[in-house]
Structure 1
Amino acid sequence: MADRGAADPVKVVFVCWGNICRSPIAERVARRQADEAGLTGVEFTSAATSTEELGSPMDPRAAAVLRDRGYDADGHVAHQVDAAEITGADLVIAMEDLHVDRMRRIAPDAELSLLSDFDPAATPGSGVPDPWYGSAEGFYGTLGTVEAAIPGVLDRVRELQASR
């Protein structure tokens, strides 16, 4: 976790495989829920563990689901997470254990979490399934899973802010 002062924003990075579906959905949901809660002093970003989709926009199905539910889906460009981004963040939140394992290879001492673990109703360690292989309906399921977990993320952000 980064060492910051009280005036520095809490930095949260959401990570999935290609940074075109789950992690940008989480980033957009977190931004809106934080805005709606009046939570300031936080930056949300997202990244990939793989290089497959570097430079790509958000998957059109993910963008369509976000827009359908009133979220901003514009301007996303996929990029790969690196050690500096991991160690420079206060919270690094992965979608699956696979992503945690890949990030451990480049930042072995980093504190990493699964998004699903922020949802008290979710099975611990369950992760967020990848909708990429399925139909558009799977993206609505992913959005619902993310929306259920983000309040727990915002609670953690508040804890980090209070501890500075």
Structure 2
Amino acid sequence: MTFRITVVCTGNICRSPMAEFVLRERIDEAGLADQVVINSAGTTTWEEGNPADPRTISALQRHGHTGDYSGHRARVFDRRSFADDDLVLVADHEHYAVLRRLAAVPEAQDKIRMLRSFDPSGPKGGALSIDDPWFGDDSSFDRTYAEVAAAADGVVDFVRKQLASAD
């Protein structure tokens, strides 16, 4: 079984690629890279085709990540992805609402989760959004990174359990 995850934010240049890169690294460290595919997308066409925001890359590098992020190009989430994805992680409540409307059936809606819901020590309920760092400075991107990183191990644990139950 291949477990497929898509991380979604607004333009697919800040929050979702950051989460994609962090999750891909954590999945690899967990020894699950051959069973999990992670990508990202946006809810709008505003940034389609653009690379990840340089401030996203800088934040990753400040936190010790050394991957090659040059291949990322922003894309828009396609409702047909629900058929292939096992988990769709969203950055904020607006993305959650947009994707719930796009999901044609309850089974697709059930795949949508707030990324921060996987942070065991994080906020609950209405405080699960990851603020868009776009209008901020380096500290905004560092805050986004901290929120993504805090949820990453919970996502890995969830995926590990899903893969085990599929065997």
What is the TM-score of this pair, normalised by structure 1? 0.91
Q: Distance in 2 between matches of 1:144 and 1:94?
A: 16
Equivalent of 2:157 in 149, 155, 158:
155
Which of 33, 37, 50 is the matching residue for 2:30?
37
Task: Say whether residues 1:137 and 2:160 are aligned partners.
Answer: no
Cα distance in 2 for partners of 1:114, 1:106 equals 16
Q: How far 1:105 moved relative to its partner?
A: 1.7
Deviation at 1:12, TM superposition (A): 0.7
Task: Report the Cα offset of residue 115 of structure 1.
Answer: 0.5
User: CA RMSD of the aligned region, Å?
Assistant: 1.2
Q: Which moved more, 1:148-157 or 1:99-108?
A: 99-108
How far apart, CA to CA, are the structure 2 residues paired with 1:87 and 1:115? 20
User: Equivalent residue for 1:3?
Assistant: none
**What is the aligned residue count?**
157
The CA deviation at 1:122 is 1.0
Is residue 2:70 matched to residue 1:74? yes
Instruction: Measure, in 2, the Cα distance between the counterparts of 1:139 and 1:154.
Output: 22
5+ long unaligned stretches in structure 2:
none
1:50 is aligned to 44
**Matched residue, 1:92:** 88
Gaps of 5+ in 1: 1-7
Cα drift, residue 69 of structure 1: 2.5
Whether 2:54 is the aligned partner of 1:60: answer yes
2: CA distance, partners of 1:31 / 1:39 = 9
Of 6, 21, 32, which residue of structure 1 is paired with 2:14?
A: 21
Kindly indicate whether residue 117 of structure 2 is the aligned counterpart of residue 117 of structure 1: yes
2-structure distance, mates of 1:53, 1:163: 38
Q: CA–CA distance in 2 between the matches of 1:159 and 1:37?
A: 12
Q: Say whether the 8 Å CA contact 1:87–1:107 is kept in structure 2.
A: no
State the distance in 2 between where 1:74 and 1:152 align. 27
